[in-house]
Chain A
Amino acid sequence: MEWESIIGLEVHVSLSTKSKLFSGTASTFGAEPNTQANIFDLALPGTLPAFNENALQMAVFFGLAIGAKIGKRSIFDRKNYFYPDLPKGYQVTQLDFPTVGKGSLTISLEDGTEKVIGVTRAHIEENAGKSLHEEFTDQSGIDLNRAGEPLLEIVSEPEIKNAKEAVAYLKKLHSIVRYLDISDAIMAQGSMRCDVNVSIRKKGDNKLGTRTEIKNINSFRFVEKAINSEIIRQQEVIEDGGTIIQETRRYDANKDITSSMRSKEVANDYRYFPEPDLLPIVIDDSYISSIQSALPELPDAKQRRFISDYGLSKYDAGVLTATRELAEYFEQVAKKCGDAKSAANWVTGSLLALLNKDDIEIIKSPIDAERLASLIGRIKDNTISGKIAKNLFEIMATNFSSVDELIEKRGLKQVTDVGEIEKLITKVLNDNPNQVQQFADGKEQVLGFLIGQAMKASQGKANPEQVNELLKEKIKQKR
């Protein structure tokens, strides 16, 4: 039987405001437990919420970036449930009137085509605290530092067809949020979290199947694996004559399976109602246009510009615009060295390999844009060969001297003196009479070997083109 899957994502992004959503408590990551939990955050009696203007601005910023309809009148609601990490016994969120309405974003698929994924809505809400289970027996410790941090929950339309698309969507979202600088969006730290809704149906069916929700997946890779594993599970259940139960599941990365989170699923009844301690948020066109004017160039536009201005391939432009920092790095290198294509090759090749190897962020790159640009410059002016440049690049990763200093100190300058190169070649030809004979017998492949020997003898410093030319000349004379 042929199946198709339908996936929807709910992504929570922590907004990087200085203070919490409704209180003046700091909202930074990694503080000692409960040192960022003050009277409002602890829901002490008589405390009231005061809405952070920056959270609103960031939400509208995001909305405009995905071309969404901005809610001119958004309303906070209370979502009621008891949990020790939820101090008020309700979460303040936006149910019917979110700040960000319908929008969309475009993802690139592996076959090079593009697909538009609809965003149903994005709403502002409070984060909950954390329960820690390890430290104590029979008890849990509650840390409320996170409680009341501003979140933007971004809900996609169920238009995602498979795990790869889901990851592409998530990466795009990550990229936009980072471009806007409204969140750290670090999945491992929980500043970006993802819940996935998965359902399957027979190919061609119009009716949606029953969906399950996989909660709190904390890396792009696990999102992909969790979806794939859940799709297979659902297929097996149905093919064995079973039915899918609407439930919340968790993904176990070690076993690569999803499992039900609640054996006795009690139907939640959140008893939403408009939050009476807050009034409707009303924003006008001038507010929206002032935020619109602050919108930076976004990844899609930047990618298009890189293709047209720098003549890059779509793929390279895509790689280079994945984050704002990487794009900025590339443009600096390109401008300084005056050769965008070389810059793109170096950044997408050696530099990313270097960074990825040790999981280093571009802003912490040991080779800054300035140094990479001068490295490329020295190749272009024939000071060093491409091969030497590769070696030099490795050196630059741990030695922070300037490129010229390194070339000088390590004697890496390319040899272009014809006399010196001729000397080398003469020696190589004398040392390898067999190969010279083979060449004379018509076995032209040995030329490569001889060039290699000459380069080796020069410790890679000889200009390879000159070596090539002069060697051909000399060996012909010998014949």
Chain B
Amino acid sequence: MILDKSEVRKIAQLARLHISDADVDEIGHRIKEILTLVDQMQSVETKPVEPLYHPFDAVQKLRPDVVTERNNREELQKLAPKAEMGLYLVPKVLD
């Protein structure tokens, strides 16, 4: 198991978490410990085993195509850190 600083930073970037230089080693160390625990899984051969994504076999239910929700923008935007003119505001999006 290799988990160097750059890898920790790469994961933090994917997860949009900020990690200070002071913390990067500690966090890397902790994650490594968890991954060591997790790696016990590699002790069993699972090639022919089907993954189980849900605890039991059930199939997706279908919802009738009916509009059930009403506009509730004013209430909902009270929850927002920043909203104006009906829009949620964020620092400029650059693509």
Contact = CB atoms under 8 A, between A and B. Distances in A.
Interface stretch (A48-56, A184-192, A365-373): A48-56
B58 to A, nearest CB: 5
A143 interface: yes
Nearest to B86: A33
18 contacts: A18-B66, A24-B67, A24-B69, A26-B67, A26-B69, A32-B86, A34-B73, A34-B87, A51-B60, A53-B62, A84-B93, A135-B87, A139-B92, A140-B89, A140-B91, A140-B92, A143-B86, A262-B95
B66 A279 contact: no
B65 A34 contact: no
Interface string B28-69: 000000000000000000000000011000111111111111
Contacts of B65: 17-19, 52-55
Contacts of A138: 91-92
10 closest cross-chain pairs (CB), A and B: A141-B87, A24-B68, A54-B65, A53-B62, A142-B88, A38-B69, A140-B93, A33-B86, A282-B59, A279-B60
A131 interface: yes
B16 interface: yes
Nearest to A22: B63
Given A19-B67, A133-B92, A142-B87, 11 more contacts: A23-B69, A25-B67, A32-B73, A50-B61, A54-B65, A55-B65, A84-B88, A84-B90, A138-B91, A279-B60, A279-B61
A184 B61 CA distance: 27
Contacts of A82: 16
B71 interface: yes
A135 B93 CA distance: 13
Contacts of B76: 34, 37-39, 42
A140 B70 CA distance: 26
Nearest to B90: A84
Given A33-B86, A279-B58, A281-B60, A133 B93 contact: yes
B23 interface: no
Contacts of B21: none
B22 interface: no
Nearest to A273: B53
B2 interface: no
A334 B71 CA distance: 47
B3 to A, nearest CB: 16
B73 A37 contact: yes
B69 to A, nearest CB: 4
A35 B73 contact: yes
Q: Which of A34, A269, A282 has the most CB of B within 10 A?
A: A34
Interface of A: 17-19, 23-26, 32-39, 42, 44, 50-56, 80, 82-84, 131-133, 135-136, 138-144, 261-262, 269, 271, 274, 276, 278-282
Contact of A51 (B53, B63, B69, B87): B63
Nearest to B71: A35
B84 interface: yes
A279 B90 contact: no
A103 to B, nearest CB: 23
A34 B87 CA distance: 7
A8 B1 CA distance: 40
B20 interface: no
B84 A141 contact: yes
Contacts of A135: 85, 87
A196 B89 CA distance: 31
A24 B65 CA distance: 7
Q: Which of B16, B65, B69, B87 has the most CB of A within 10 A?
A: B65
Contact of B59 (A17, A131, A281): A281
A330 to B, nearest CB: 32
Q: Which of B68, B85, B87, B90 has the most CB of A within 10 A?
A: B87
B67 A274 contact: no
B69 A25 contact: yes
Contact of A279 (B59, B68, B69, B89): B59
A33 B59 contact: no
A35 B71 CA distance: 5
B72 interface: yes
A280 B57 CA distance: 9
Nearest to B16: A82
Interface string B2-34: 000000000000101000000000000000000
Nearest to A141: B87
B90 A53 contact: no
Nearest to A25: B69
A287 to B, nearest CB: 10
A38 B92 contact: no
Contacts of A50: 61, 63
Contacts of B64: 53
Contacts of B84: 136, 141
A275 to B, nearest CB: 9
A18 B67 CA distance: 7
B63 to A, nearest CB: 4
A37 B76 CA distance: 9
A271 B66 CA distance: 32
Given A84-B88, A141-B84, A144-B88, A271 B69 contact: no
Nearest to A41: B69
B68 A19 contact: yes
